[in-house]
A and B are shown apart, each in its own frame.
Chain A
Amino acid sequence: MLIRQLFTAVLVSLVAFGIALMPTSDANAQKRGGILTYMIPSKGAASLDGHKETSYATIHPTAPFYSLLIQVDPSKPGAKELVGDLAKSWTVSSDKKTYVFKIHKGVKFHDGSDMTSRDALASWNKIVFPPQGILSARKAMFSMVDTITTPDSHTIVFKLKFASPAFIWAMAMPFNYIYSADVLAKNMRYYETKIMGTGAFKLVEYTPKVRIRGERFDQYFKPGRPYMDGIIGIFSPKQNVYVAALESGRAYSMFRGLPPQAVKDLLKARPGEFVVQSSTWNCALNITPNSYKKPFDNVKVRRALSLALDRWGGSRYLSKRAIVKTVGGVVFPGHPLAPSRRQLQTLEGYGTNVKKNREKAMQLLKEAGVPRGFKFTLNNRTTDQPYKIVGIWAVDQWRQIGLEVKQKVLPTSKFWAALRRPKSRMTEKGAFTVSIDFNCQAVVNPTVDISKYIPSSGANYGKYDDDVLERLYNEQLREPDFDKQKALLWDFQKRLTDQAWTFSTLWWHRTIVHNRRMKGWNITPSHYLNMGLVDVWLDLDK
C-alpha cells in the first residue's frame, strides 16, 4: 500500500512537471507546411487586449500573433527556469533588485516596422503603470517594480523597490504581449479590438465568436519558424461540437482540457489517432463558508466542513468523472515550494484516516452546538466541469457527518453577484452560506498565486479578516531564501487551515487529446500557457 502510494506520488509529481508523458520530439524531423485547425472552447473572446483580460478565451485566439519578453519554456513547460522570447538574455544584480533584459535585434512587427526596446517599454508601462482609465489585470502583481528604463534601443531595465522571487515569474505571464509603441501612442485602446504584434503568425481574418485565421509571418525573428503555414482557431463553447471536430479530424486539438468520459470516448472511437497528454492544472477548487453567518462564524464548524472531505478517496472517484485529481493545499502540488505529501497529510483534513477525520468533525460540530441533520445550502456555478460534479460529491461527504446540504446552482450573473457581495452585507439573509470557489492561475508561481487567500485580496470572497495571513504573505513575498520562504508558506497554509476561512477540495487535472499529426506541443499546468504555437508542426505526409 505504502509503496503504491509512493509510486503514485512520484508519478503525479513527474506528470505535473511534464517529464513522464512528454512526447520527445526529434529536432531534425520537423516538417514544414500545413494549417492547424484548433477549437477554442468558448463563446468568444471579450476584448483582444491580453493586458486587461484574464481569460483563456483571449489567450487561445491571440497568443500566436504576439511575442512575450520572456516565457515558460515551450519545450519543457515544467522546467524551473524561464527562457527568453523577445529577450535574448537577461541578468540580475546581486541585490536582486535590478533586472537587465537584452532584446533580439532585427525583430519586425507585422506592419513591417522594427521592434525595439521602445516598444517593450510602452507595453510594460501599460501593464505596470497603466494610465488613468486603462485597465491592467496584472498591475497588482508588479507592485515591486520601481522604474522601467531603456538605456539603449535593445535593452530594457526593471528596477525593483524590494527584491522578490515572484517578479521574474510574473514577467513570464502569457498575457504580457509586446505591443507597438507607435500604435499605442496613437490609440491606447487599439489592441482591444485589433491585432498587430511580432508573433509567428500574422492575422488574416478575425470574425468575433466564429473564427480567427493567421498565416505564417515570413519575417518572424526566430530562424526557420514557424513550421506551419497557418492556423485557424474556431470558437465553440459546446463540448459535443469540439469533440466531434476532434474525432472527425476536422480539428487537431483543443487546448483547454477534456473531461475523462470524453477522453475515453475519443480514444475508443478512433484508436491510434490521438495523443493524450495530462498534467495537474494550476487551478484549485475551493469551498468558502460565509463566516458572517451562524454557525459558520464558529471556526469549529468550518473545520468540520473541511475534515469531512475524504480528499484521497475523492481523488480516486472524481478523477474518473471530472477534471479534478490532485490533492493539495494552497501551493501548486509538486512545486518545490509545496509541502511534501507526508507533510500535507499532517494537515487537518488532508490525512488518509477518513474515519478518524469524520469522528473529529462530528465532535467539533457537537461542541459548536450544531445538531445532526443541520441544513444549509451550497452555492455553485452552472458549469458542469468540474464545479457541479465536485459540488455533488461534497454534499455527499457532508451527509456522512450528519449535515443535510442542498446544492443550489446559480447562473453566472447570480453566482458572481453572491460572491462579490460587499462585506457589510454578508450578514443578510440573501447572502450565500457556503459557496464553491476557485483559484485559477497561469504561470506556476505560488508566491503570487496564493494572493487570493489574503484578506486584502479582491478575490477574498469569504470577506474574512486575518492579520496573520496578511503578514505571512508579505514576509514570504520578500523572502529571498528558498527554505525560509517555503517555511513561511507552510505557516501560511497552517494558519489558513486552522481558521478554515476557505479550504481546497482537489486541484484540477488537465487532459489534452490531440491528433497524432500535431507535434511539438507540450502540455503545461495551465491552459493559458504555451499557446504561441511557434514550435508546433504537422506531420501530414502519411
Chain B
Amino acid sequence: MFPTMFFVSVVVFFLMQMIPGDPVELKMLGDGSGDFSPEQLTLERERYGLNDHPVIQFTNWMFGVVQLDFGVSILTDRRVSEDIAIALPLSFQIAIMSTLLATLLAIPLGTLAALRQDTWVDYLIRIFSIAGIATPGFFLGIMMIIGILVITNSQWAPPFDYKPIWVDPWYNLSMLIWPALATGYRYSAVAMRMTRSTVLEVLREDYIRTARAKGLVEKIIINRHALTNAMLPVITVIGIEFAFLIGGLVVTEQVFNLAGIGNLFVTAVELKDYMVVQALVLIVAFVFVFTNFFIDILYAWLDPRIRYA
C-alpha cells in the first residue's frame, strides 16, 4: 500500500513538472492587465520554491505530505487542505448519493435479469445497462438540464448556489440529485452487469443444483445461496467504482457548475497549480488503495473459505 502511494507521488510530481508554462506567470497573466517585471516573477517563484531543483522540490513536498501538510496553492495562496476541505463535502455527497442509487438499482435489476435470462426482461435490463455505460455523464447532465428547462418552461433550473445539506436539506438535494443521477446511472450500469453475470455463474454451481435437488424453495435458494455468494464480485465492482467516481465527477461537475473536487482538479491542471493537483491525485489514489484493502477484508468476512484459510 505505501510503496504504491509513494510511486504515485513520484509519477504525479514529475508529470506536473512536464506541463508547459510557469504557474506563476499563468496566474498573473490570465486577465492581462498587470505588468510584472521578471524580478518580481522570480521572487514570487522563490516563494513557492519553484526555483529549486525538482528533486529538492519533491523532497520538500514529500516531507510535508508525510506530516499531512499538502502545501500552499500557487493560485489562491490558501492552504491546499483548505481548498480541498471546501470542495470535498460536495463531491463526497454526490459520490455517496450515486453509490446508493447505483446499488439500489443494480442488485435487484441485475438479479432479475439473471433469473430471467434470455427473456425480454433480461434484454431490456441489459440494454438499459449498456446504454448507461455508453452515455457520457456530461451528455446525460446536459439532457437533464434541457429536459428540466423544457418541462418547467424555464421557470425552474437546478440551483446554482451550493448550500450544505445540514443548512438547507431540500435546497441541497434539489441541486445535487441531478449530478448524482448523471454519475449514478453509469455506475449502476456497471454494477448491474456484474450482478447479472455473477448470479448466472453461481446458479450453474453444483451446490445450487444440490439445493434444488433437495427440493428447497426457490426463494430460499436465491436469497440464501445464490445472492450471498454472488455478492463478492459485485461489492468489488461497487468499491472500485466508488474510488473512481472522482474521475467521473471531473466532467459532471463542469456541466452542473459545481465547485467540487473535479472542478478544482481541472482548474489546477489548466493553470499548473502543482500542489493542488498532487494532493488531489494522492487522495484519489489513497481512496483507491484503501478501498481495495477494505474489499479484501470484506471478502474474508463474507467468504468462509478465506476466513478459515
Binding site for B on A (CB under 8 A): 43-47, 53-57, 132-133, 135-141, 189, 192-193, 207-211, 232, 234-238, 240-241, 244-245, 247-248, 250, 269, 411-414, 416-417, 420, 438-442, 451-452, 457-459, 528
Contacts and interface: CB of A to CB of B under 8 A. Distances in A.
B114 to A, nearest CB: 42
Given A46-B27, A209-B263, A238 B78 contact: no
A140 B83 CA distance: 32
Interface in B43-87: 43-44, 46-47, 75-78, 83, 86-87
A528 B33 CA distance: 10
Nearest to A250: B160
Name the 4 nearest CB pairs between A and B, nearest first: A54-B34, A137-B34, A417-B21, A55-B31
A211 B164 CA distance: 13
A440 B34 CA distance: 9
Nearest to B24: A135
B22 to A, nearest CB: 7
18 contacts: A45-B76, A57-B31, A133-B47, A138-B34, A140-B35, A193-B76, A193-B77, A208-B83, A209-B87, A210-B161, A248-B154, A411-B270, A412-B30, A416-B21, A416-B26, A420-B21, A452-B35, A459-B35
Given A46-B75, A54-B30, A442-B33, 17 more contacts: A44-B76, A44-B267, A45-B76, A46-B30, A46-B77, A47-B77, A54-B29, A54-B31, A55-B31, A137-B34, A189-B77, A210-B86, A210-B161, A236-B160, A247-B154, A413-B271, A417-B20
A136 B41 CA distance: 10
B35 A451 contact: yes
B259 A235 contact: yes
B155 interface: yes
Given A46-B75, A47-B77, A416-B26, A135 B161 contact: no
Contacts of B86: 207-210
B10 interface: no
B154 A211 contact: no
Contacts of A136: 40
Contacts of B33: 54-55, 137, 440-442, 528
A134 B54 CA distance: 24
A43 B267 contact: yes
A328 B47 CA distance: 40
A18 B263 CA distance: 38
Contact of B28 (A54, A207, A210, A452): A54
B177 interface: no
A56 B29 contact: no
Contact of B35 (A192, A442, A458): A458
Contacts of B29: 54, 416, 420, 459
B178 to A, nearest CB: 13
Contacts of A244: 154, 157, 160
A413 B28 contact: no
A414 B20 contact: yes
Nearest to A527: B31
B83 A211 contact: no
Contacts of A420: 21-22, 25, 29
Nearest to A282: B33
Contacts of B145: 240
B257 A412 contact: no
Contacts of B28: 54, 137
A210 B36 contact: no
Interface in B251-293: 257, 259, 263-264, 267, 270-272
A414 B22 CA distance: 10
B162 A210 contact: yes
Contact of A132 (B25, B43, B257): B43
B146 to A, nearest CB: 10
B171 to A, nearest CB: 12
B257 A238 contact: yes
B3 interface: no
A182 to B, nearest CB: 21
A241 B149 CA distance: 12
B37 A458 contact: yes
A413 B155 contact: no
B215 interface: no
B165 interface: no
Contacts of A414: 20-21
Given A234-B160, A248-B154, A417-B21, A139 B257 contact: no
A112 B86 CA distance: 29
A37 to B, nearest CB: 8
Contact of B32 (A43, A140, A234, A439): A439
A193 B83 CA distance: 12
B38 interface: yes
A164 to B, nearest CB: 16
Contacts of B27: 46
A238 B281 CA distance: 25
A392 B38 CA distance: 33
B131 interface: no
A132 B43 CA distance: 8
Contacts of B44: 135
Contacts of A240: 145
B32 A54 contact: yes
A207 B267 CA distance: 17
Contacts of B25: 416, 420
B138 to A, nearest CB: 12
A192 B160 contact: no
A413 B35 contact: no
Contact of A438 (B32, B43, B77, B78): B32
Contacts of B267: 43-44
Interface in B77-136: 77-78, 83, 86-87
Contacts of B22: 417, 420
Contacts of B32: 54, 438-440, 459
A343 B104 CA distance: 73
A24 to B, nearest CB: 31
Contacts of A452: 35
Contacts of B43: 132-133, 135
A210 to B, nearest CB: 5
Contacts of B271: 412-413
B26 A137 contact: no
Contacts of A269: 154
Contacts of A439: 32
Interface in B293-307: none
B11 interface: no
B19 interface: yes
Given A417-B20, A420-B25, A135 B36 contact: yes
B158 to A, nearest CB: 9
A413 B19 contact: yes
Contacts of A44: 76, 259, 267
Nearest to A244: B157
Contacts of A528: 33
A237 B31 contact: no
